[in-house]
Amino acid sequence: MEAFITLTHGAGGRESHDLIESLIVKKVPPLLRHALEGHGLDVLDDGSFIKVGESFIVFSSDSYTVKPVFYPGGNIGELAASGVLNDLVMMGARPVAFLDNIIVEEGFPLKELELIIESLVKVLKENNVSLIGGDFKVMPKGSLDKIVISGFGIGVSQGTPIIDRVQPGDVIIVTNNIAEHGAAIMASQLGMDAENLSLRSDSKPLVKTVLPVIERFRNHIHAARDPTRGGLSSILNEWVKDREVSIIIDESKIPIREDVKTFLEMLGIDPLTVASEGVAVLSVSRDVSSDVTVALKSMGENPQIIGEVVIPEEPAQKGRVLGLTEVGGKRVIKGEALNLPRIC
């Protein structure tokens, strides 16, 4: 283990998971990794839950450090609300309440803070989610670059929340074009005019479009995640890690806008490692997969079946994500995250 924290530790890929595993999870006795008949650190998923009577109460929490604070397609307030609500949706839970912890640097313009909070509240209002608490702190000038927000979401799940466990025979569905959030933030961070490049964050809550589909097909959806930090490759790798299965992806099927692809190619970055903030990845029984895509389309999404979960014949392929190449071969898609900080 290295002696100092690096940016890679926070990038959402394998190094992040290894650090969290060794530094946090292992310090907690197994009995205290979950509470009240629920799941917590025992299953590293989008959220955790407890059971109260017959109800499943689901929780998610994330910190947002995105830079710049305002970017094409959104701002840190809208992102914090959408991101936390989406993690509840990925558990199959309907978001009901939110708490916001805001830390601001002394000297931050009040008008900008107001815009950020209005964006956050707007997302909550439009999705009928209550704001029931939070915290507000100010750090002296120079000790924080502008603002960070931690959001805590509370949801209720009808039926057991979705604990990711892909099954052989599942197909992998992506609900919309990938990598748009990450590309827009990268362009902004590089000082490029992302707006003129037509790059915009895809950040949006999935409560109205994806949650109804998850609720309807709940028993056939074996895993659901939003590919934020670490992108699609990171999530697919988590799903097969230490399992007997592998996921095979037809990369030509992955929905991505041409301008996003060109921009990322220019930088030499694999779009599979780049964050989306308004997209879900679902692992679904093959027999309902076309019903699921039809339902997602009717909600205005642009779903694509991009691959499948298989039991590989070659042992070396177990626990791996494989991409079909144009020449009919396979490449290993690794779960290494893009080492670019403050994407979300």
User: Rounded to the nearest 5°, which phi and psi values hold at 161?
Assistant: -60, 155
> Which of these ranges, 3-11, 204-212, 290-298, 304-312, lies near its own copies under the rule CB under 8 A?
3-11
Nearest to 96 by CA among 64, 63, 122, 59: 59
Instruction: Considering only residues 191 through 250, tell me which ones interact with its own copies, judged by CB under 8 A.
Output: none
Q: Decide whether 137 or 331 has the Cβ nearer to its own copies.
A: 137
Q: Decide whether 53 or 268 has the Cβ nearer to its own copies.
A: 53
> Which of these ranges, 121-129, 174-182, 195-203, 306-314, lies near its own copies under the rule CB under 8 A?
121-129
Question: Residue from 74, 75, 92, 105 that binds its own copies (CB under 8 A)?
Answer: 105
B/e letters for 152-165, b = 16+ CB within 10 Å, e = fewer, are bbbbbbeeebbbbe
> Which of these ranges, 100-108, 202-210, 295-303, 312-320, lies near its own copies under the rule CB under 8 A?
100-108
Task: Please give the single-letter amino acid code of residue 192.
Answer: M
Task: Please give the single-letter amino acid code of residue 172.
Answer: I
Question: Residue from 69, 79, 93, 104 that binds its own copies (CB under 8 A)?
Answer: 104
> Which of these ranges, 104-112, 177-185, 208-216, 239-247, lies near its own copies under the rule CB under 8 A?
104-112
Torsion sign (Cα): 311, 317, 321, 326: negative
For position 150 contacting its own copies by CB under 8 A, the verdict is yes
Q: Are the CB atoms for 307 and 317 separated by under 8 Å?
A: no
DSSP 191: T
Q: Taking the C-alpha atoms of 76, 154, 46 and 184 in order, what is their torsion angle to the nearest 10 degrees?
A: -20
For position 154 contacting its own copies by CB under 8 A, the verdict is yes
Q: Decide whether 96 or 299 has the Cβ nearer to its own copies.
A: 96
Give residues with Cβ within 8 angstroms of 27, minimum separation 6. Answer: none
Instruction: Considering only residues 273 through 312, tell me which ones interact with its own copies, judged by CB under 8 A.
Output: none
d(CA 286, CA 189): 41
For position 190 contacting its own copies by CB under 8 A, the verdict is no
**Which residue has tokens 């670490």?**
230
Question: Residue from 137, 253, 297, 331 that binds its own copies (CB under 8 A)?
Answer: 137
What would the x/- binding string for its own copies be over residues 41 to 80, using CB under 8 A? x-----xx-x-xxxx-x-xxxxx-x-x-------------
For position 159 contacting its own copies by CB under 8 A, the verdict is no
